[in-house]
Amino acid sequence: MAETVTLIDHETIRDWAAARAGAPAIVDVSPEAGTQPMLRLVFGQHAYADTGQAERPANAGGYELVEWDEWFRLFDAAHLALVVGKDVPGRRDSYHEFVRRPD
């Protein structure tokens, strides 16, 4: 694995995602709607909402695109950081993972 960088700053995360056509999303992994959200970043075509798809219950799987403010509220509440691959000239890697923030 190449070198990584840990991101916490909201603008830096937003810029990193925007450079890769990324959008904030939430997956509800709870047995009861709205009780256990999991953060995601989706890229490319997946970053666009499909307004033609049928409505589904909030916890039926899949992801929901959300505004950055809501995403960062959950990100900060869970004390997360985003680990990404260090930028390499000529390549836009979308590798990322969520980790607990270092103290």
Do 66 and 58 contact (CB within 8 A), yes or no?
no
Q: Is the confidence at residue 53, as pLDDT, over 80?
A: no
The reported pTM is 0.78
Sign of CA dihedral 6, 17, 13, 89: positive
pLDDT in tens, 70-101: 999 999 999 999 999 998 888 878 899 999 99
> According to the model, what pLDDT value does residue 56 have?
41
Distance from C-alpha of 9 to C-alpha of 81, rounded to nearest angstrom: 9
For residues 35-67, one letter each, b for 16 or more C-beta atoms within 10 angstroms of the residue's C-beta and e for the rest, the string is eebebbbbeeebbeeeeeeeeeeebeeebebbe
pLDDT in tens, 12-32: 999 999 999 999 999 877 666
Distance from C-alpha of 26 to C-alpha of 28, rounded to nearest angstrom: 6
Reported as a pLDDT band with limits 50, 70 and 90, residue 59 is very low
Distance from C-alpha of 38 to C-alpha of 91, rounded to nearest angstrom: 28
